[in-house]
């Protein structure tokens, strides 16, 4: 019974691989109920590189960056346009072009009460709040 099961698993795997290759090559395979992807999409990319003390090192479309007083590892980054309908991505990183970034984690969310700001939280590798430098990228639909 086991050899038949292995053969069946191999056939299913090859079929799935073939479907993935066809889709990557531009095949028109669609999942039922899936929305069609827009044929022409454009986005505006904004970014901020922020030091562990909350200083804005460099950026594009960013107005300012600040530490939220009272708790380590909490920052706000304000942009020159609304970012509510955008996607946010952040990573721990140095502010310079050399060096080794510190170990830690970062999370992001829209900043409550301000349409042009993102809240960033950094923690060390044990999950404790920590002041860490980070890079934040915001991808928005074009205006």
Q: What is the pLDDT of residue 31?
A: 52
- If one counts the domains in the chain, the total is 2
88 with 18, same domain: the answer is no
Residues of the chain below pLDDT 50: 1-29
Rounded to an integer, what distance in angstroms lies between the CA atom of residue 42 and that of residue 70? Answer: 39
Q: What is the pTM of this model?
A: 0.71
107 with 68, same domain: the answer is yes
CA-closest candidate to residue 94, choices 46, 132, 129: 132
Q: Which domain holds residue 9?
A: 1-37
Is there a contact between 93 and 112 (Cβ–Cβ < 8 Å)? no
53 with 106, same domain: the answer is yes
Q: What is the pLDDT of residue 10?
A: 40
72 with 10, same domain: the answer is no
Q: What is the pLDDT of residue 24?
A: 43
137 with 92, same domain: the answer is yes
């Amino acid at each position: 019974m086991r050899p038949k099961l292995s053969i069946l698993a191999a056939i299913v795997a090859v079929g799935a691989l073939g479907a993935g290759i066809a889709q990557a090559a531009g095949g028109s395979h669609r999942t039922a109920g899936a929305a069609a992807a827009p044929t022409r999409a454009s986005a505006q990319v904004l970014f901020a590189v922020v030091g562990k003390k909350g200083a804005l090192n460099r950026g594009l479309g960013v107005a300012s960056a600040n530490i939220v007083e009272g708790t380590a590892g909490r920052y706000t980054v304000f942009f020159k346009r609304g970012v509510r309908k955008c996607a946010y991505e952040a990573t721990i990183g140095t502010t310079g072009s050399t060096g080794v970034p510190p170990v830690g984690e970062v999370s992001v969310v829209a900043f409550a009460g301000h349409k042009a700001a993102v809240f960033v939280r950094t923690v060390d590798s044990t999950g404790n709040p920590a002041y860490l430098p980070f890079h934040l990228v915001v991808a928005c639909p074009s205006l």
